[in-house]
Structure 1
Amino acid sequence: MLKRNKFLIIFLALLITCMSVAVAADVNDSTATVTTDISTTAGDVNMADVQKVTNAEDNNKLVKDNNKITKNNNIKSDEQPITISSESEFDDMFSSISTNTYQIKSDYSGKVIKINTDITKSSNSYIINVPINLTSDNNNTINLNTINGYNLPTSNPTYIEFNNGASNSNISYLHFHNTQVFTTTATNVTFDHINVTVDNQGVGKSTGVFSMRNGVINTTVKNSYFNVTENTGCSIIVITLGENCTIENNTIIGQGTVGNLVYLNMWGATTNSNGITQNKGNLIKDNTITGPSTPSSICMAIAVGGPNNQIINNTINYAGTGINNNWAGTYDPLTNTTDDYYNITYNGNAFINNTLNNGATFTASQRSFVAGNYITGTATIAKNSTVTNNTFLSTVKLNGYTNFVQNLVTGLLNVSGSYNNVSLNNMADITIPSTSSNNNVSNNNFNNLDIYSDDNVITYNNYTGDISEHGALDNTILNNNYVSALANINSNSKNLKTEPQIIEITSENKDTYIKVQDDTEISPNSNVPGGSTVIFKENLKDLFPNAKILYSGNILHKNNTVYISTAPGVVIKDVRVWMYNGAISLANATLEYTAKYEDDLYAIVTEVAKKPYSYVIDNITLNYHKETGEFGGAMFIGNNYSFTLKNSIINSYIPASQVNWDGTGDSPSNLPIAYTIYMPSNSKNVVISNNTINTYELTNDASPNPTIFAIANQGNDNTITGNNLTLNGQHWMYNVVSQYTHNTTITNNIITTNSTNYSAGVYLSGANMYDNVIDGNIINTMAGYDKERDETTGSPEYVSYGVVFENRAYMGGDHSYGEGNFVRNTISNNTLLGSAYNIYGVEIFGADGSIVENNNVNISGNTTLGLGAIGANTSFNNNTISIDGLREAGSTVDYLGAGTTGILILRSSDSTATNNTITSTFNGVTVQISKNSVVENNNLTSTEEYTIKIKNSNNTNVTNNYLVAKELKGDSSVLDTNGNDNIIENNLPLAPKEYSLKVDTTEFTVATKATISASLYLGEDVASDINKGKVVFKVNG
């Protein structure tokens, strides 16, 4: 439509200028008439021809500026593609710059070039140093007969290279055979639907067959096919010093003697003008990778060197090394603990939902996040990693400091390092060798366990075989492990199972089993053997009227804890249970606690001193009331080793108060005075599972922002799973808060927060927060929804948040990657519901490498934001979002603003929104003050004017989406204001094509006879097969 208007304007200008013109006939007045045959109407167009033309134009880059669609400056809108039909025409495109080396002529900058003939050379190299769209109608082949690698002092160093000048190029539908392909120091180069094959030739020596190197940024290889056979052991797809590159949805096959199939490489890395020093922020996703039938030590399916890369949903068919770190001489990245160059290189990658078949092995580098993978070969996990929800069919080795939770292991788990947390797994056999210590193995199901080292905790596991103790095992706790089959006893091991005793406490025997100290402290005495269950048959206050604290005393039972229970109808009332310096746990008990005393504001406290002890609370009911202004709550979990709360009901009635942000008040820093459960920074390996926890705002302190945190977590490696969590109040209500933590897992909970002023479901806040996972939860948040609220009065805005990532090191403005080390956190498979005046499904404030995928968001309000982020490398993938907002924008104190959109990318870099389905009353996606964003393969429906808005953003790629707004569709439904180098193309549905007329004649002499030629267009293409009809020209009225 815009093209037709442009031609109409030209035509009118021409007619106004002419006073007397003859058009294809003699005229003697100011009116001219022309006739031509036209038989094809718009409804008669051959759609195959239309599709062919559309495909030919696919590589045109569309940019909207000042609300108009125009061509990118590098692509001239009024030129047809250049078609190369012979090798001589191919040669004419290049100029010689040295012996056998040719560079494309500058005249081809910004052109669409179709290589529609096969090109075969034997000794030439070609350099592309201008932006082009290089394609082929017939998938024609370029064969440069590469025998040796890049810049080698031997014959035939042949290659094609896209260098920095070729930034913003697109290469598609070409076949590169026995040809070295380079991309060097370039930005925003895309290879799509290409075919790369090598047969029995040394293509890729020293660099790799398809090599992206020397500081490439945002290079993409997608939807392509690679098949390399016997290339003397060279790697196939290689990135060397690349940032934010993508290798997606490719088929990659290596046969015979080949190198690594996908390789993030650090060998031969050199300085570059882009200043890239590592492979960082790259995405390897949705590829099918097949290795040689005979495994080779020089061939890995995926080799990774660099930090913060994501390897997601790849399928590997190979009997050798499936995923591994890349080589770096004799350096071993799995055991090195020094802060040298390579330690940084191997830090922190994510391996998610990959399938490794045929016994392919797996090795994760330090600080990795490993989730949802299916691994048939052996696996090695480096230090400080999080490993969850994986299936391992062979031996798994943990090298230390790793959170290993909710996995299935059918082989042997070798806990070879120290300070591992192994919880909630189903496993075959476990071994803890003599070289490891300070490991926690709790709440697992397994067959057999062999332990050879000191200072470990093995507790609350179910097993079918045997637990065998080898050696003295000083300071090792083995207790409360339950056998579900007859044990195997051998002469080399010690069987540790003990038959528990049940001791019922009554007024008659209480003095036999209970010690009273200072009239207020009671505890089991030495007559209670380890492993026993103590059941109070009468109310505790009836037995001990002055009791304030029930604790474990100095009875240290190495191999089994003592359980405290109550008989039905019996209550432990207003007595704190203090799990301190000994093994005491709660099971099948009822507690009531009203906080009255300054020093007794907690109902349950767990603390550890002197030795590592593990605690459990199972199947209790706790009713807790607190009205005082001192710091305290229902449960304080301070434990450096292991604690489990499960199958319990907690009802907590507590006051709201100002948060102590500066750390000078009565409560610890960053907390209000009351909570239901608090895990301080020294808590570790806490598991809260299958509980019902209800928190109610009882009173408030009349401060400006009275607040409640229902569950407050400041410890690492803690898990909250399978709970029903409800928080009701009137003021600032936060249900689950995790501050300054890593390896926190919040999964499969039902989380409901209902307030008037402010409600939040899950809130992660702080710095140095990484590898936290929020997965599979149902989160429902509600706040006030006054449609008639006057925003100018300063009254509370009534706001609600489903999930929040808040980087407290980021202070607003331009965000810098790595600021605050808030990285690699995941929000996945959640259902987010709610309503409020201003509502946010997910808000990310200053985080990097966040993964937001497979969520279902259905929220409504005055302004309604589905998923929003300020950060770098945020991935919004495969989410289903339904947004019902009354207004497109509103007022708020929130830095992301108040607005209605499905996805907001704000002040961000290198973020992606892919494969999402969004229904919105306003925009589907908004990109604002950002760079290098990708919005691709989404299905967006808007009931207003636009589906996507791009504001003050650069290098945004909006392609291959299905976009339907109120009236506009496809590309025309995308609004780009004040942007540069944005690409808007190939979005469906296509606008209907209309006929228009373009006057080709631009020169004539006034008052003389002239012949004017014109072309009839269908859309942007010259109409064909037109032989009948009439066109009438009128000149000067």
Structure 2
Amino acid sequence: MNIYIKQFFLFMIVFVFLVSVGYAVDDSQTQVNIEEQSAQEEYVDEAIDSSSDDIASENTVTTFEDSPKNIKSDEESVPVEYVNITQNNYKNYFTVMGKQMFIGKGIINSNNSLVLNLQYFPDNVNYFGLDENSEKFLNRSLTITSDRNLALTNMEVLLSSNFKTLTLENFNVTYNNEYTGTDYFTISDNVQHCVLRNVSIDMDKDNVAYGYLIGIVGRTTIENSFIRGRFVETIIDWETGPKTPDAYGIHINANDCILRNNTIEIISSGHSSGTHYSLFGIYLMKSNTTLTNNTIIMHNATGYAYGIVVRSSNNTISHNNISISSQTYSAGVNLEMVRFQNNMVNNNHVNVTASYGSAPWGNAGVAYGLEMLDFSYGGGAYSSSGNHPYNNSFVNNTIVGSAGQIYGIEIYGTSDTNLSGNTINITGRTPMGIGAIGSNITIADNHIINNGTHNRSEGTADYLEAINTGLYTLFTSEVIVMMNNTITSINGRGILIKSSNNANILNNTINVVGHDYAVEVTNSSNLNGINNKIENNTLITTKHTGSRAVLAPKNNTVQNNIPVEIIGYTFEIDITDFGLGLNQTVSSTLYYNDEVASNVNKGKVSFKVNGKTLKDSKGKVIYANVVNGTASIENYTITESWNIPNATIQAIYSGSSDCDKITSQKVSINIFSNNPSIASSSVRTSVGSTVTLTATIHAPVPVNSGKVVFKINGKTVKDSNGKVIYAKVINNQVSVEYTLPANMKAGTYNITAVLISSKYGRLENVKTLIVES
């Protein structure tokens, strides 16, 4: 019998069978038996002669049209075909060429949306490319699924077809050291909308120093999936390159993407040579993307570990659990570059950790919860004019972490910024809850706990200094509001306003343990630290309460802070830390109730240290006149006589028509030896140029003896005649002009300043010399 007649009879038998089954079903039946349905479909598939390529003439699927109980297309007019792909029929839907598999005729010729259930996948295929494009795809969807959670190994996947929706779901793909490719999952800009759902992508390879696990260039949704990869930390070219490492987890270079309900784990597998090597977890370049309800983990890093890096606008990052750890530098979410706007980061839990030691190149270990960084802002007094980032928000996040130096939130050069409702609990030597440089910044309703070791500033490579404080602003003269925050600071201040004007500090509750002041205002040559308002706060420190817990220069408003400490006049010592051999200020202040008695401008004050009145070199008592309630002796040399056990200082006010005579309590003072040290500066220059190498000697007395030599990568700097260059110390300073040798190549070098002194011995300090081509 002719083969076509055979096929016709076989088709009629199947058709009659299906019709009979349909009529046999009771009208009340509403549930299709899926197992029976699948058996029918496989029967139809296997009944077809697999040698035939004319799939258009053979109905190999079950078609579901307009029934609410069955699969439907997004478009009501387009029916959905569901096909079980088996070893017998896969070639009807996919074209296999060697080890590569592509879209085949069954997909191309169908006029319906398709759901292809892969129950079989050829073992020898290592490339799966859905890259066919057609005008007829534009209103159809294609779903590639597997009811068996098909497991694939070392498979490169390209999703590039222009279906209305292209979905890949229920797959497990793993990569090991046998995989030699550099591309893993790529979603091209041909797709209208690509969906990865319930997929596992696990890359466990060594020495992956280039590329990314998932590259997204078209609109994509990834949901309910597991993504893990191991990458090498590589050096970022911050000057002329793209300002990214060479390898990272997920690269999103498309608008309108969604990542939700995923677990994403990025693991460092080592690092490149050199210094400042880095790794990105998720890199977001385009706009209108949402990252929500994901768990994002990065660990095992040595260098700079960035969880999420955003360099675009109108994105939402919400309700994620983010955990980043590195020896040197860890960051949860970074909004950065120039002019980004309208980004919302909210309701995330961020945990960042770094070491209490140092990076291999010397920088202190540091961690950041959330950051906004304007790459166009060069430091100094900030102005809102120009193309700064604006209208970005960090709201209702929980930030925890631990590192030698740690910042809960850092803002560097942004405008119209909202930092509200965040809960921050961080531990380190110099924890900073929120630090900001910018304009029109609102810092409100945050709950901050700083568990710090000390209240001193540490050296840092950061834009903001490393210092223990709950809130901090620098170089800000336009509007910044700090209100309704609750701050607990251990061994540091609650708020530090540094070189900034016009800050409004209102209605905050600050409790400080181990430090005298809750709010401190300082000035500089750039900005005077004036016109700041500190009002209606609850301020409690180890030593003071209310307005007395505020340390601020004149021309600031400090009032109505509670609790009011004492009724009437009191007299207090301002400074209790003194360094042997230093010329320091000895000062005291009159208070009335809780405010500085600035109306008192009469009378004089003397001081007693260890019971002895301070005198000048001629033996005469030194008196300080009272000006606006304060009396000070400037440039008084702290001598060895101060350095006794249980040393104390006391101030005596002579009295006047403004205020009766009053004596302060004896207050314990701290005397420190101020051990000498040397500090140098990092240098950036070009090949063959002349540079200035500088160093400063920090010591309790002026230093005008000793010599300094500089070493580059351990080799002492010499002149053109091969002689060592010595720099004599004058007024604690040294400076050397040095021309780089012609054979010195571009790169990063260690530069060491070495003091050679019979008085101080040998002191060293290491910085970085960057030579550019």
Shorter chain as normaliser: what TM range? Answer: 0.5 to 0.7
Correspondences of 1:121-132 after superposition (within 5 Å) = none
Q: Does 1:672 align with 2:251?
A: no
Query: SS at the partner of 1:988?
Result: coil
Q: Is the 8 A contact 1:740 1:766 kept in 2?
A: yes
Distance 1:579 1:956, change over 3 A: same
Question: Which residue of structure 2 lines up, in the alignment, with residue 695 of structure 1?
Answer: 266
* CA-to-aligned-CA distance 1:768-814 (integer Å, 9 cap, x gap): 1111110010001011124xx7x9x9634111000011100011122
Q: Do structure 1's residue 522 and structure 2's residue 92 form an aligned pair?
A: no
1:553 pairs, out of 126, 132, 139, with 132
Q: Tell me how far apart the structure 1 counterparts of residues 67 and 232 of structure 2 sit (CA, whole Å).
A: 45
Are 2:469 and 1:901 equivalent residues in the alignment? yes
Matches within 5 A, 1:848-863: 848-863=415-430
User: Which of 593, 596, 602 is the matching residue for 2:183?
Assistant: 602
Matches within 5 A, 1:901-920: 901-909=469-477, 910-920=479-489
Residue identity matched to 2:404: Y
Paired position in structure 1 for 2:117: 535
Equivalent positions of 1:336-347 (< 5 A) are none
Q: Distance in 1 between matches of 2:82 and 2:327?
A: 49
User: Given the alignment, which residue of 503, 511, 528 partners 1:933?
Assistant: 503
CA–CA distance in structure 1, aligned partners of residues 659 and 441 of structure 2:
46
Alpha-carbon displacement from aligned partner over 1:989-1015 (angstroms, at most 9, x marks no partner): 1121147999x9x9xxxxxxxxxx989
Q: Is the 8 A contact 1:541 1:573 kept in 2?
A: no
Root-mean-square deviation over aligned CA pairs: 3.1
Q: Which residue of 2 aligns with 1:754?
A: 325
Counterpart residue identity of residue 660, structure 1: D
Call closer, same or farther: CA 1:685–1:595 in 2, change over 3 Å.
Answer: farther
For 1:521-920, list aligned pairs within 5 A.
521-527=101-107, 529=110, 530-538=112-120, 540-542=121-123, 545-554=124-133, 556-568=136-148, 570-583=150-163, 584-594=166-176, 600-609=181-190, 613-628=192-207, 631-639=210-218, 642-664=219-241, 669-680=242-253, 683-786=254-357, 795-888=362-455, 889-909=457-477, 910-920=479-489
> Does the 8 Å contact 1:818/1:848 carry over to 2?
no
- In structure 2, the residue matched to 1:957 is 533
Counterpart of 1:513 (choices 93, 102, 108) is 93
Distance 1:602 1:824 in 2: 37
Counterpart check, 1:947 vs 2:518: yes
Structure 1 residues 794 and 628: alpha-carbon distance in aligned structure 2, compared to 1, 3 A threshold? closer
After TM superposition, give the deviation of residue 549 of structure 1 in Å.
3.2
For residue 993 of structure 1, the aligned residue among 567, 581, 587 is 567
Q: Secondary structure at the match of 1:890?
A: coil
Q: Contact 1:719–1:745 (CA<8 Å) still a contact in 2?
A: yes
Tell me which moved more, 563-572 or 703-712.
563-572
Q: CA deviation at 1:533?
A: 2.1
Change (3 A) 1:590 1:974: same
Name the TM-score, length of structure 1 as normaliser: 0.46
CA contact (8 A) 2:267 2:301 kept: no
Residues 40-87 of structure 1: CA deviation (Å, up to 9, x unaligned): xxxxxxxxxxxxxxxxxxxxxxxxxxxxxxxxxxxxxxxxxxxxxxxx
Name the CA distance, whole Å, in 2 between partners of 1:902 and 1:819.
Answer: 29
Q: Whole-Å Cα distance in 1 between the matches of residues 401 and 568 of structure 2?
A: 45
SS of residue in 1 equivalent to 2:547: helix
The corresponding residue for 1:43 is none
User: Residues 677 and 987 from structure 1, CA distance in 2 versus in 1: closer, same or farther, beyond 3 angstroms?
Assistant: same
Deviations 1:163-207 (A, max 9, x none): xxxxxxxxxxxxxxxxxxxxxxxxxxxxxxxxxxxxxxxxxxxxx
Q: Kindly tell me: are residues 513 and 865 of structure 1, through their superposed partners in 2, closer, same or farther at Cα, counting changes over 3 Å? A: same
The CA distance in 1 between the partners of 2:295 and 2:557, in whole Å, is 46
Report the secondary structure of 1:512's partner residue. helix
Letter in 2 for 1:875: T
- Give the CA deviation at 1:672: 0.9
- Aligned match for 1:971, one of 508, 524, 547: 547
5+ long unaligned stretches in structure 2: 1-64, 524-528, 571-591, 603-655, 663-773
TM-score of the aligned structures, taking structure 2 as reference length? 0.61
Whether contact under 8 Å (1:865, 1:899) holds in the other structure is yes
8 A contact 1:823–1:848 mirrored in 2: yes
2: CA distance, partners of 1:670 / 1:535: 42
Whether the 8 Å CA contact 1:826–1:852 is kept in 2: the answer is: yes
Structure 1 Cα separation of the partners of residues 125 and 349 of structure 2: 44
Letter of the structure 2 residue corresponding to residue 955 of structure 1 = N
SS of alignment partner, residue 202 of structure 2: strand
Q: What is the CA distance between 1:505 and its match in structure 2?
A: 2.3
Counterpart-to-counterpart distance in 1, 2:107 and 2:314: 41
Q: Return closer, same or farther for 1:784/1:580 CA change in 2, 3 Å cut-off.
A: same
CA contact (8 A) 1:688 1:720 kept: yes
Superimposed CA distance per residue, residues 671-709 of structure 1 (whole angstroms, 9 cap, x where no aligned partner): 1111111012xx100111111111111222123122110
Aligned 8 A contact 2:280 2:309 in 1:
no
Match of residue 278 from structure 1:
none
1:256-297 alpha-carbon deviations (Å, 9 max, x no partner): xxxxxxxxxxxxxxxxxxxxxxxxxxxxxxxxxxxxxxxxxx
Contact preservation (8 Å) 2:138, 2:162: no
SS in structure 2 opposite 1:503? strand
2:33 alignment counterpart: none
Which range moved further: 627-636 or 795-804? 627-636
Which one-letter code corresponds to 1:715 in the other structure?
K
Instruction: Determine if contact 1:550/1:575 at 8 Å carries over to the other structure.
Output: no
The separation in 1 between residues aligned to 2:452 and 2:287, in whole angstroms, is: 37
Structure-2 change in CA distance of 1:524 and 1:860 (3 Å) = farther
Letter in 2 for 1:853: S
Structure 1 unaligned segments of length 5 or more: list them: 1-481, 488-493, 1003-1012, 1020-1037
- Report the Cα distance in structure 2 between the residues aligned to 1:956 and 1:684, rounded to whole angstroms: 42
Cα distance, 1:617–1:991 mapped onto 2, change above 3 Å: same
Shift of 1:850: 1.1
Paired letter, 2:374: N
- Work out the CA distance in 1 between the residues paired with 2:658 and 2:555: 31
* Structure with more contact order per residue of length (Cα contacts < 8 Å, sep ≥ 6): 1
Partner Cα distance (1:562, 1:648) in 2: 19
**How far, CA to CA, are the matches of 2:98 and 2:69 in structure 1?**
46
Separation of aligned partners in 1, 2:658 and 2:469 = 43
**How far apart, CA to CA, are the structure 2 residues paired with 1:1014 and 1:879?**
46
Alpha-carbon distance in 2 for matches of 1:483, 1:860: 60
Match of 1:845, as an amino acid? Y
Change (3 A) 1:720 1:569: closer
Match for residue 325 of structure 1? none
Q: Which structure shows the bigger proportion of residues in strand conformation? A: 2
Residue pair 1:740, 1:768 contacting (<8 A) in 2 also: no
Give the conservation status (yes or no) of the 8 Å contact 2:82–2:117: yes
Distance 1:975 1:483 in 2: 75
The answer on whether the counterparts of 1:644 and 1:687 sit within 8 Å (CA) in structure 2 is: yes
* 1:934 Cα deviation from its structure 2 partner: 0.7
Residue pair 1:595, 1:628 contacting (<8 A) in 2 also: no
Residue deviations 1:70-113 (CA, integer Å, cap 9, x gap): xxxxxxxxxxxxxxxxxxxxxxxxxxxxxxxxxxxxxxxxxxxx
Tell me what 1:983 maps to: 557
Q: Separation in 2 of the partners of 1:872 and 1:892?
A: 24
Give the Cα–Cα distance (whole angstroms) in 1 for the partners of residues 321 and 427 of structure 2: 19
- Give the Å deviation of 1:569: 5.4
- 1:858 is displaced (CA, Å) by 0.4
User: Share of identical aligned residues, percent?
Assistant: 25
Aligned position for 2:737: none
